[in-house]
Chains A and B, each alone.
Chain A
Amino acid sequence: MSVQTKPDRVTVRMYNVGFGDAFLLLFPGPERPFRVLIDCGTHSASPRPRPISEVVEQIVTDVTDEDGQARIDVVVGTHRHQDHVEGFRQAAWGDVEVKEVWMPWTEDPNDPEARMIREKQSSSARQLCLALERLDADPDYLALAANSLTNEKAMRTLHAGFKGSPRHRFLPLKEGGSAIETDALGQVRVNVLGPSRDPEVIRDMDPPAGESYLRLLGVNEEASSARSPFPASWQLSVEEVDDNPGLKAAIALDKRDRDRLARQAAVDAFALAVALEKAVNGTSLVLMFELGDAHLLCPGDAQWGTWHHILSDTALRALVERTTFLKVGHHGSHNGTPKEFVETLQERRKAEGASAELWAMISTHPIKMWKEIPKAELVEGLEEATKRVARSDAGDKSPVSGFSHWDDAVIEAEVPIR
């Protein structure tokens, strides 16, 4: 039934959800392992190796004790992207007993600043998706934007849906250091490395203003021509200009110029979708779990701003440099893991040789329209730092030593504690 773990190992199970994340961490405990579930979701544009309901079933089975009750000590929702939370829609979660739920501080219902960011991101996502649909825009852009739509059901599960009245923590806290005080995980030490409350990092959470979407939609078009600041008598149509040689010479704009002007005035749908994606990724919770020699870094989808903050802080940097297990950020994209960090890991391997143990897991699936995820150079860079790099989409056809493969459903790593 439930998955056990060896007394001197931390077990990490990566569930194959396609392009998405679902990780279960198991730390040795007195009667049963301490269990941490980090995210459960798949991108709407992702191929599904198996339906998410099956994945959830598998997870629940893995955490069900002998008495038939499913228990998870900590559920973490790193950020509210679909590919990280969509799986929490499943009804099965209602029967799972959870002690604590951890989310980024931007999810705190009682924090006014958090509420502002949340609402801005939610409404931006809604408006952008609406605009892109109405315009029949490139489906790639819509897929990109749809990931940021708030999944009400999933968020409700995280906030109020588990059994056992879990304690909710919105991290990091305003005051205090990076360490979390909790007795839910026994001797395991946890540090929160992001998202910072630094104004620079918060700025990254700001999606583009709503006005852009409305213009994209052309919603304001009729309204604006009705109350155009220019009286009709001053407005000229293109034909009127073309028919009047004097006027045409005076204005001196040929068709190519006019086309360029029109393009300049148009809104860049791609840029908006990217900015929105970046804004939500900016809220990613970055956690470091430590037990003995096992140092597990789970950065969600944190991008440049958060990483920069971590690597510029001496204490936080020292912390991440001890990583023995890395959940590779943002499905292996170029900016989910800074080059600087990979180089540090490579140097560690050179200095310490085989004793520098490192496991890396990438939960990802190639999607045709997005050729740069996962980034080949990043995977190669990680492979230089360690032989133990596993991808969820590799299946058991090319097993990587150091991991256990269970069909193509789960890949398991065992990270030494001593």
Chain B
Amino acid sequence: MNQQEYSQPLFGQPLKVINVGLELFYNALLAQKADVVQVDWQPPAAGDQQMVGLLDRLLD
């Protein structure tokens, strides 16, 4: 059995979520009194796919 230690435990502690995308899921988590923050996601580089690739290569 793999006894690997997880870099970030997921179970057994309060879940803290970052929601990237649909408000629906953010609202559902708020309704459950979950610890959640919302990212108002927008397409990067104004949706220009080529530019996205270029930017990513520069930043990573």
Q: Determine if chain A interacts with chain B.
A: no
Q: Which residues of A are at the interface with B, using a C-beta cutoff of 8 A?
A: none
Which B residues fall within an 8 A CB radius of A? none
